[in-house]
Structure 1
Amino acid sequence: MNTETFEAFQTRWLAQGFEEVLVRDWAPDTVLETHSHPFAARAVVTQGEMWLTVAGQTRHLRPGDTFALERDEPHAERYGPQGASYWVARRG
């Protein structure tokens, strides 16, 4: 379980050169087919559950679990029946 506050998470990643830190909330049962982003991301799940598929490997993520994506890394996302929230730091 994540015991860090959002403010501490934000401070840590901004100090490491990430440009923005935000909260992402996802509706129940949302599915995002394979796509990529023009930024690197470091995140921690804070509520709900999600499945993240990268390079053919799927991880089931719950509160406290972390994930990292590099810039332009193809991935797919699927969110659980209660949706999900995570904190994410982004660096372009």
Structure 2
Amino acid sequence: MTRDEFLAELASEGFQEIVTVTREAGQSLDTHTHPFEAKALIVEGELTIRARETERRFQVGDVFHLASDESHSERYGPFGVVYLVGRK
């Protein structure tokens, strides 16, 4: 998915807060939650998310979606990751 397509999709779904997140190579975050729904597009690098007993790797062009308060952990690829995320 392209950046413009993703931004249009976020707008149509009511995501008003949009931020860019950058994470360092090889780092991780233990299991946690966010008090908001998040939908993100990977723009550089890769990210692995473990949620609901499933682990999935996301690369450039992939989109991930997490519900508000959804428990998950994150692991960043060997070159880190940059993603554009809508929050609501």
CA distance in 1, matches of 2:9, 2:81: 22
Q: RMSD in angstroms over aligned alpha carbons?
A: 1.4
Kindly indicate whether the alpha-carbon contact (under 8 Å) linking 1:14 and 1:20 is maintained by their aligned counterparts in 2. no
Give the unaligned 5+ runs of structure 1. none
Matches within 5 A, 1:1-92: 2=1, 4-5=2-3, 9-91=6-88
CA distance in 2, matches of 1:65, 1:85: 12
CA distance in 2, matches of 1:69, 1:31: 17
**Structure 1, residues 26-70: CA drift from partner, whole Å, max 9, x if none?**
111111000000000111111111110001100011101111000
Give 4+ residue runs of structure 1 displaced > 4 Å after superposition: none
CA distance in 1, matches of 2:53, 2:9: 30
Q: TM-score, normalised by structure 1?
A: 0.86
42-51 vs 69-78, which deviates more?
42-51
Q: TM-score, normalised by structure 2?
A: 0.89
The number of aligned residues is 88
Give the unaligned 5+ runs of structure 2. none
